[in-house]
Structure 1
Amino acid sequence: MLNQFLDNISLPAATVTSATAEVQYWKEDLGGIGTVRAVNGVEVTTEAQGVISAIHFKSGQYVQKGDLLAEIFAEPEKAQLQVLDAELRLARRNYVRIKALLDRGVTTESDLDTARSTLDQVVANIEVQRARVDQRVIVAPFSGVLGIRQIDLGQNVSPGEAVVSLQQLDPIFVDFSLPEKNYATVKSGLPVILITDAFPGNSYRGKITAVDPQVDSASRNFLIQATLKNPKQHLRPGMFAQVSVQIDAQRKVLVIPRTALIFAPYGVAVFVLEPDENGDQMIAAKRFVKTGEERGDLVEITQGLLEGDIVASSGLLKLRNGESAIINNQNQPPENANPKPGNS
């Protein structure tokens, strides 16, 4: 009799909060992780061997294309250029003199050709020497912001040695990747929104300017490049960025709070709350579902629920299949597709 009593005893009704499965229209967007990159970014290097004789910039300075950055000692090269200028003057006088003699029939055409060849050689040597002098002057290849100076006055530098980094910050690129299943959807011109941890709460808008024509065979992702305006220069090369591609489409979805889900090795389930035969109280019925995309506090249900179904959203550990439940929605869990917690 005691066993029969315990088998038939009814548990007290569990108090839970509830949520209704509702239809929403989610705007399609594709999220990816990317890296900010300068449109033009280089390490300005030297082309010649020598001693730094002058530095004309400061670290972090903004420079225009062609601005003088530094000079390498070039007095011997400039002196050699003066020697060649003197040779040029002599070669021109000889050429004019021999041409005049040829007009009077005093000399031969061969002498004139020799004088012309000598003149051309001196002109070519001058161009080569001027190029050598120019190599000892370091200028900005484009407009941008300089980094930390890597050279000192009087330092002996070698060809290819870094002088300073130069980055063009406005506009700026962001490179990110997406799965190959999105290749047909993504195209140039689509708007993107970028957020970065360096400036929380700020978002930056741009558009896709290039899509890589190949898919990486290892990751099955493809590379995308977007261009953004950066007038305040908040975005800097190398920054981590979260990128969202805005697709001009909406999708109809059935959603419930994520807190309503029960995860188990054999599947995902929810407790559906339905009135009993008398309509006096709610009965919890466990039902397996299939989920889709998640956004914020909400999750998409692709199979197992219908619009208007009431599910338990908290207190799930107290519920048993077929047992009664009491709904108290005074403290419901959040239900927001774009939550913005105060401490995030």
Structure 2
Amino acid sequence: MSKAKQLAYLILAVFLVLVTWYLLSVFEAKDPALDTGNDSAAGQETDKQPVIVQSVSFESDASRIVSVGTGQAQQSITLTPESAGQVRDVLFKSGDSVREGDLLLTLDKEDEELALELAKLQLQDTRQRLARYEQAAPSGAVSATEVDQARNALSVAQIELSQAELAYTKRMILAPFDGVIGRSQVDPGERVNESSAIATLDDASNLNVDFNIPESFAYAVQEGQQVVAQTWALPGEEFTGKIRSIENRIDRETRTLQVRAQLPNEQGRLRTGMSFVIELFLSGELYPAVPAVAVQWDREAAYVWLVHDGVAERQAVEVLKRANGWALLSGQLSREDQVVIEGMQSLRGGMPVDVRSQKAPPEDISERSAAGILNDG
């Protein structure tokens, strides 16, 4: 191919490229009026401040009290004899579960057995004598005075029998209530008296724990309120109970009030004498609660940004408490208010906002309170 033809082809190719570029630019051109409208709308969208909001919730101004107490059985006694004597039989072992009325220990009782038999015979004799006198009285063989004396003798015999029975029962120790008995402090053959300790008996189906709270909470605590207990003997486990009773006086020395909590202990895992850490949550008045990041500050006071009808509004507040990423506030806030939690740095009063996301507050406020979100430590 000659150089002239090559040059002609090159010029033709350049010409086609130029024509193609021109046609594309013409077809891609926009209507000037349409361009102006789009630019205006885009400008309006650019003027709005993007934010993320969250609904205001309401929390109780709860207080968390932590105290230490010692567990004791709901019934606990030291068994002692009702009379002096020599131990005959010990009928229990340490740790036995006993029922009310179970026989636990006997003393020598030969004298009491004889006295009881004698009292029974005397009663039988006086009863028979009175029957004969009453039968003979109508015929005049027995005077009325003798009949009265026989009746009195019967009454005396009945009393003597009751005394003999009482003396006999005092030679035995019975369980006064259901519980678990400790180890025996005496052995068969040993002499004991009314002050001798035989064993301890505990009804620990419920465990009482006494603890103290500050005087300032005296009127906030009530019977039936829930407590949570932990013991060093069983680390990592929690036991739930309720307040059973409240002392009627403030201790003058410590300025505290003694409270008794009761912990269910059906499985018998808790023992008398264990130490416990008691947690008590006392609820208070309801206040608005928002994430702590929503609260802003200036020289005058704390405030939050609210969104009403797409516009930012500044609302002054007072911070009552901050804990675990939340703030408890006092101010003119309602459950319908949306508080800005992101994007508030460039906000001004009356500025249009673009709500990019709306977060809901936690569903169950009571569960949050129980979890300690806004509780004092």
Question: Residues 156 and 65 of structure 1: is their aligned pair in 2 closer, same or farther, counting only changes over 3 Å?
Answer: same
SS at match of 1:90: helix
Q: Which residue of 2 aligns with 1:136?
A: 171
Contact 1:193 1:246 in 2 (8 A): no
Question: RMSD of the alignment, in Å?
Answer: 3.1
How much has 1:27 moved relative to structure 2? 5.0
Q: Which residue of 1 aligns with 2:195?
A: 160
Q: How does 1:133-282 map to 2 (within 5 A)?
A: 133-249=168-284
How much has 1:213 moved relative to structure 2? 1.1
Q: Which residue of 1 aligns with 2:64?
A: 29
2:123 is aligned with 1:88? yes
2:103 is aligned with 1:73? no
How much has 1:34 moved relative to structure 2? 1.1
The separation in 2 between residues aligned to 1:82 and 1:293, in whole angstroms, is: 79
How much has 1:120 moved relative to structure 2? 0.6
SS at match of 1:81: helix
SS at match of 2:198: strand
The separation in 1 between residues aligned to 2:70 and 2:321, in whole angstroms, is: 25
SS at match of 1:110: helix
1:104-162 Cα deviation digits (max 9, x unpaired): 12221111110111111011011011001101110111111111111101111111211
Counterpart amino acid of residue 91 in structure 1: T
SS at match of 2:135: helix
Q: Which residue of 2 aligns with 1:38?
A: 73
How much has 1:293 moved relative to structure 2? 9.0
1:44-103 Cα deviation digits (max 9, x unpaired): 111111111111111111111111101001011111111111111111111111111112
Counterpart amino acid of residue 254 in structure 2: S
The structure having more radius of gyration, on CA atoms, is 2
Contact 1:71 1:136 in 2 (8 A): yes
Contact 2:106 2:171 in 1 (8 A): yes
The separation in 2 between residues aligned to 1:106 and 1:210, in whole angstroms, is: 70
Q: Which residue of 2 aligns with 1:101?
A: 136
Contact 2:72 2:271 in 1 (8 A): yes
Counterpart amino acid of residue 28 in structure 1: S
How much has 1:197 moved relative to structure 2? 0.5
Q: Which residue of 1 aligns with 2:93?
A: 58
How much has 1:170 moved relative to structure 2? 0.9
Counterpart amino acid of residue 221 in structure 1: T
How much has 1:255 moved relative to structure 2? 8.1
The separation in 2 between residues aligned to 1:240 and 1:43, in whole angstroms, is: 21
SS at match of 1:162: coil
Structure 1 unaligned spans of 5+: 1-23, 257-291, 303-307, 309-336, 339-344
Question: Residues 28 and 254 of structure 1: is their aligned pair in 2 closer, same or farther, counting only changes over 3 Å?
Answer: farther
How much has 1:228 moved relative to structure 2? 1.3
The separation in 1 between residues aligned to 2:322 and 2:189, in whole angstroms, is: 61
Contact 2:322 2:328 in 1 (8 A): no
Q: Which residue of 2 aligns with 1:286?
A: none
Counterpart amino acid of residue 123 in structure 2: L
Counterpart amino acid of residue 205 in structure 2: D
1:256-278 Cα deviation digits (max 9, x unpaired): 9xxxxxxxxxxxxxxxxxxxxxx
Question: Residues 190 and 123 of structure 1: is their aligned pair in 2 closer, same or farther, counting only changes over 3 Å?
Answer: same
Question: Residues 245 and 119 of structure 1: is their aligned pair in 2 closer, same or farther, counting only changes over 3 Å?
Answer: same
Question: Residues 147 and 191 of structure 1: is their aligned pair in 2 closer, same or farther, counting only changes over 3 Å?
Answer: same
Moved more, 185-194 or 85-94: 85-94
SS at match of 1:166: strand
How high is the sequence identity, in percent, across the aligned residues? 27
1:243-290 Cα deviation digits (max 9, x unpaired): 01133457769989xxxxxxxxxxxxxxxxxxxxxxxxxxxxxxxxxx
Give the number of the structure whose residues are more often helix, by fraction: 2
The separation in 1 between residues aligned to 2:269 and 2:321, in whole angstroms, is: 32
Normalising by structure 2, we get a TM-score of 0.60
Counterpart amino acid of residue 124 in structure 2: R
Q: Which residue of 1 aligns with 2:150?
A: 115
The separation in 1 between residues aligned to 2:212 and 2:118, in whole angstroms, is: 59
Normalising by structure 1, we get a TM-score of 0.66
The separation in 2 between residues aligned to 1:255 and 1:240, in whole angstroms, is: 37
Give the number of the structure whose residues are more often strand, by fraction: 1
The separation in 2 between residues aligned to 1:158 and 1:253, in whole angstroms, is: 70
Question: Residues 294 and 161 of structure 1: is their aligned pair in 2 closer, same or farther, counting only changes over 3 Å?
Answer: farther
